[in-house]
Amino acid sequence: MGLDQIVFIFLIVFAIRAVFASNLKNAIISSSIFGLWASLVYLLYHAPDVAVSEAVVASSLGTVLLILAIRNYGDVTVPGIRQMVLRRIGVDLLMLGVCVLVLALTIRLPDAGMGALRESVMEIYLESPRTVNPVTSILLHYRAFDTVLEALMLLIAVIGVTHLIEVGGVDSRAVDGYGLLAERHPTIVKALQILTPILVILGLGLVTGDPLTPGGGFQGAGLLAAVVVSRYLVGGVRQGRDTKALETLEKVVFVVFVLSVAAYIFLGVRQQAPEAYAPFMLAMNGLLGLKVFCGLSIMFLYFARES
Amino acid sequence: MFDWLNGPNVAVVLFFIGLAGVVLRKNMMITVIAVGVMNTAVILAFVTMGSATDYVAPMLAETVTGAADPVPQALMITSVVIGVAVKTVFLVLILGHYRQHQTLDWDAAKSIRAGEKPLETHLEVI
């Protein structure tokens, strides 16, 4: 029994303690210790970068956030494991059964082995002057787009948090609260204004770009929808904005998308005209991008109008 | 005897502990913690699949074979950070809900949404 297996047992114990605690304080402290054990496992499995980010970001910062949140709550006791398990035995057994099933499938899984990507990444690293950590170089080179979008996600989370705290609760400002963002956080608004054209170009590039490069309809359209959200937050409320045209467009695009995919597959275009594959992928990426963009924008505008 | 106690299997167990927390427990804060446990389980699976305790870290490797896989590690760093961002937004939404309705209970929240008065039993078990 190795050190890692002992740590695994502690992980399971503290996960159960955190999830099935009868007091929120106990649950939070247990989840914090769970995070530290998880960080130790990453270290034992030679992933020091992940271990550091887990210990610093998830285990400590996350715990602080949880503690700050429960300060606001009057009663922090919750019904414990006993009431919960006895109340819903059917769901318990279902969960246990599915867990055993997945576990059996995982045990029968063959060893991951050496993937081609892993081999080439390590070979390039070993031949290089070895001045940069390979994990960092993947993050900033091979996955640069993803990392940029991660930073954008964080920015959006920050905007969301500041925004929701201002309009949250029974505050009467909730009615016209969206307009306050520009007054309270001029830096964020300025940053969004500077970012908007860059994001539009990047999003369109992801949708229409070479099918061989990372990205595609989904990612690009997500980015374009993020532009709509940020324009909305910057510009304040536009009451009664009509989404009918967008909704119609979305439905039409969906029908066209389904029909063209069906035609492509069932008419055997791929076998008859292999050279049509690349333009087909490009067109499908564009249609998918339009569809996802319309869908995300409609959902957001709908929520914004309702709230 | 303890061979089955390896990374992916433990990750499955942890994921289902978190899922049980989401499904069975009725408290919003416990849901946040349980989703965090599920997030950690996914990270654990990715990190342990491409590695073993007798490997070396990718930055210290001398040969390709004995080195831990750097690709999932790079993916999982993003996952850790995004997990905390999601958790923060989640907490703020719950806080707003609590300030308005004074409850952390999913059932009570559901009945408030349906336009009913919160049941007495729900208020007891918050």
Give me the CATH number covering residue B106.
Answer: 1.10.287.3510
- Say what the pLDDT of residue A105 is: 84
| Residue A7 confidence (pLDDT) above 80 | yes
Contacts of B10 in chain A (CB under 8 A): 8, 11-12
The answer to whether residue B90 is domain-embedded is: yes
Closest CA–CA distance from residue A258 to any residue of chain B (Å): 32
| Residue B100 confidence (pLDDT) above 70 | yes
Condensed to tens digits (0 to 9), the pLDDT of residues B48-67 reads: 887 888 888 877 777 777 78
The answer to whether residue B1 is domain-embedded is: no
For residue B17, the enclosing domain spans: 7-124
Contact status, residue B119 vs residue B108, Cβ threshold 8 Å? yes
CA proximity to A164, closest of A150, A151, A149, A180: A180
User: What does pLDDT average to over chain A?
Assistant: 78
| Mutation for testing the B interface, residue in A50, A76, A86, A87 having most B CBs under 10 Å | A50
Under DSSP, is residue A201 helix (H, G, I), strand (E, B) or coil? helix
Binding-face residues of B in 16-35 toward A, CB within 8 A: 16-21, 23-27, 29-30, 32-34
In chain B, the number of structural domains is 1
The answer to whether residue B2 is domain-embedded is: no
**A228 compared with A163, residue with greater pLDDT:** A228
Rank A112-121, A131-140, B107-116 by mean pLDDT and report only the highest: B107-116
Contact B33 A79 (CB under 8 A): no
Query: How far apart (Å, rounded) are the C-alpha atoms in residues A121 and A134?
Result: 8
The answer to whether residue B92 is domain-embedded is: yes
- Say what the pLDDT of residue A34 is: 93
Contact A65 B40 (CB under 8 A): no
The answer to whether residue B91 is domain-embedded is: yes
| Mutation for testing the A interface, residue in B49, B92, B113 having most A CBs under 10 Å | B92
The answer to whether residue B13 is domain-embedded is: yes
Query: How far apart (Å, rounded) are the C-alpha atoms in residues B44 and A307?
Result: 38
Binding-face residues of B in 64-93 toward A, CB within 8 A: 64-65, 67-71, 73-78, 80-89, 91-93
Record the pTM: 0.72
DSSP string covering A164-176, please? HHHH-TT-GGGTT
Q: Does B123 touch chain A (CB under 8 A)?
A: no
- Say what the pLDDT of residue B40 is: 93
Rank A39-43, A259-263, B22-26 by mean pLDDT and report only the highest: A39-43
- Say what the pLDDT of residue B44 is: 92
- Say what the pLDDT of residue B124 is: 46
The answer to whether residue B98 is domain-embedded is: yes
The answer to whether residue B81 is domain-embedded is: yes
- Say what the pLDDT of residue A56 is: 83
